[in-house]
Amino acid sequence: MGKLELQLDATYIYYQSAKTITGINPNGSFAFQVENLTDEFETSPDFKLIASAFYSKKIGVDTFRTGVFWHYIDSEADANNSNNGTNPNFNSDIRGTSYVHLIGSWNTFDWQISYEFGAPAAISTEMPQPGYGKDGKRVLGEKAISPKPEGSSFGIRSLLAQTKLTFGINNIFDTRAPFSADWYQTYDVNEDNAIGRFFWCQIEKKF
C-alpha cells in the first residue's frame, strides 16, 4: 500500500530574562533590574512547531512521494512592550494604560510531490561454462576471449536513472504574516516573512 511518514518537531521557551540598566541611582551608579523577556518581539515567541505527513510508494524501481508541512509560530508581545510588566520605563501605545499590542500566531502549509526514477535492474543470464556458448557449443577464436554485449544499455531509462523531480507550493493559502503595529516593516522580521504563496521545482541527479 505504500509508506506513511509522520514527523513533529516543536520548541517551547519556558522563561527568558536579562539584567538590564533601568536608570541611575542617587549615588550616580547604574540601576539594574532583571526583566522578563519571555514571548516577545525582541527575543522569540515561546512556542514554535513544524509537522509533516508524507506518503510514498514504489512503482517498480521508481518512487512516488507526496506530502504536506504545517508551520506554526505562536503569538508574541509587539516591539513596544513592558517585558511582561517588569520594565519600569515602559510607555504604552495608549497613554495612561498598560496596553501592549499582541502579534498574532501564524499558520502556513506547504505541499510537495516528487517522482524518483530508479536504476534499471540488471538482467543476468545463466553463465555458460568457460569456452562454451549458451547453446552448449564450443566457442573458438576471439568470441571465447572477449564476448560481445547482447544489446545496447543506452536509453531514456538509463539517462533518467537516479533522477528525482520535485514540485512544491509554499504557503498554499497565501497567508500573510501577523501584523506588528510597532515595527515599520509591519511584521516581526526575526520570525516571519513577507513572502506569500510561491511555486518551486527541483531536479536532483545522482551519478
The string of DSSP codes covering 53-88 is EEEEEEETTEEEEEEEEEEEE--EE-SS--TTTT-T
What tens-digit pLDDT sequence spans the chain (207 residues)? 899 999 999 999 999 999 999 899 999 999 999 999 999 998 999 999 999 999 999 998 899 999 999 999 999 999 999 999 999 999 999 998 999 999 999 999 999 999 999 887 665 555 556 666 666 677 665 554 555 555 455 678 788 888 999 999 999 999 999 999 999 999 999 999 999 999 999 999 988
- Residues linked to residue 109 through DSSP beta bridges, in sequence order: 70
Q: Which three cell numbers stand for residue 86?
A: 517588569
Q: Which three cell numbers stand for residue 172?
A: 498554499
Domain hosting 68: range is 3-14+35-123+160-205
Which of 129, 164, 159, 158 is CA-nearest to residue 144? 129
In a domain, 146, yes or no: no
In a domain, 176, yes or no: yes
In a domain, 89, yes or no: yes
Q: How far apart are CA 13 and CA 16, in angstroms?
A: 7
Which residue intervals of 75-154 are DSSP H helices? 142-145
In a domain, 138, yes or no: no
In a domain, 194, yes or no: yes
In a domain, 64, yes or no: yes
Looking at the structure of the chain, the number of domains it has is 1
